Amino acid sequence: MKSFYYKIGGHALAINFADEVKQGPTADGKVNDDKLIPSFAPFRIEEKPDELLFTMTVDDSLEWAEDGDEIGVFDCGGCNHGVYRMPDGGYQYAVHDINDVLCSRMRSNADFTVCHTSLRGDTWTQRNYGLNNALMMAYAFSAACMGTMLMHASVIRCDGKGYLMTAPSGTGKSTHTRLWYDNFPGCDLMNDDNPVVRIIDGKAFVYGSPWSGKTRCYRNIQAPVGGIVRIQQRPENTIRKYSAIEAFCNLLPAMSNMKWDERVYKGVCDGISELIRIVGMYELGCLPNAEAAILCHDTIAK
């Protein structure tokens, strides 16, 4: 058993790799280890922390439990993961990629502090996807009641603050953060898909994470949240501040959540409510041009 420790968004976690070798037609007999998750490297710490958010044990000998009740499907960027409630209150997940290939099976206890994953894919890409998604869900669900949320957003840092751009995939989040980068000196990209947002002592912070979609932006950095913007494609550039209800309704779908679990769902809802109170949220109707970035920046980055 090989153990590795990481700190993401201020929370420490452990990943244990069993020693068995995965055999498959294209797996090349590769042993499970940290090389399956290169995006985690910037977050690695050497010493075992005193407190762990969760422990994930990767063991391909883990068998699928047949006594779980299917309760829903977790949508992860268009890939559907089956969710099963176990008799002891824990959960079991079947993680499928965009081609509907079963890449991993994950089992957890009720509060996601103890998790196990069996990697089922034969290729490195499938096994990376299976483990990466299992870790992402374990992180989001174990931290939900701690004022910590995984948010579907692209984050640009400007003058020391992080600005979160959120929208459905393909709407233009990354395009807009790129326009900030091109037009405002000193900006840098913090994360392009799934940053960590935390509420700490009444203040909101955003952190880079190992999950950044197609953009390889895995940065162990943090910043106070300067603003949150929902991007809407429009024929002209406009911006307005959402009401609290509008902000809540638009932020809830952007958070990694599990509506079937009262603890997780309440934690995310409480976190969103506090985030809105502290920061607020804007809607930017825009074209993909510099004028949109300037309007947004000059409105929210005062």
Closest by Cα among 209, 165, 171 to 191: 209
* C-alpha separations of 72 from 80, 83, 84, 93, 262 in Å: 10, 5, 7, 10, 14
Amino acid at 132: N
Section 194-208 average pLDDT: 97
Q: What are phi and psi of 119, to 5 degrees?
A: -85, 130
- 152 burial type by CB count under 10 A (0-12 exposed, 13-18 middle, 19+ buried): buried
Strand, helix or coil at 125?
Answer: helix
Q: How confident is the model at residue 63 (pLDDT cuts 50, 70, 90)?
A: confident
Closest by Cα among 179, 190, 185 to 292: 179
The span from the CA of 220 to the CA of 240, in Å, is 32
The span from the CA of 213 to the CA of 217, in Å, is 9
Q: What is the pLDDT of the chain when averaged over all its residues?
A: 92
The percent of residues above 90 in pLDDT, for the chain, comes to: 80
Contact assessment for residue 11 and residue 139, using Cβ atoms and an 8 Å cutoff:
yes
Question: DSSP states of 10-65 as a string?
Answer: TEEEEEEE-SPBP--TTTTTPBPSGGG-GGGGGGEESSPPSS-SEEEEE-TTPPPP
Section 62-87 average pLDDT: 83
> Which DSSP helix (H) or strand (E) runs through 194?
none
The span from the CA of 209 to the CA of 119, in Å, is 22
Query: Which DSSP letter does residue 255 get?
Result: B
Angle at 168 between CA 167 and CA 174, to 5 degrees: 60
- Given a cut of 90, is residue 55 above it in pLDDT? yes
Closest by Cα among 206, 213, 161, 168 to 184: 161
Contact assessment for residue 109 and residue 92, using Cβ atoms and an 8 Å cutoff:
no
CATH number of 149-300: 3.40.50
Give the global pTM. 0.93
Section 250-272 average pLDDT: 95
pLDDT at 171: 81
Contact assessment for residue 166 and residue 228, using Cβ atoms and an 8 Å cutoff:
yes
Question: DSSP states of 148-175 as a string?
Answer: EEEB--EEEEETTEEEEEE-STTSSHHH
Looking up tokens 């294209």 gives: 26
pLDDT at 78: 65
- Given a cut of 60, is residue 232 above it in pLDDT? yes
**In the chain, domain spans:** 2-146, 149-300
- Over residues 219-229, the pLDDT tens digits come to 999 999 999 99
> Which DSSP helix (H) or strand (E) runs through 146?
none
- Over residues 23-45, the pLDDT tens digits come to 554 555 566 889 999 999 999 99
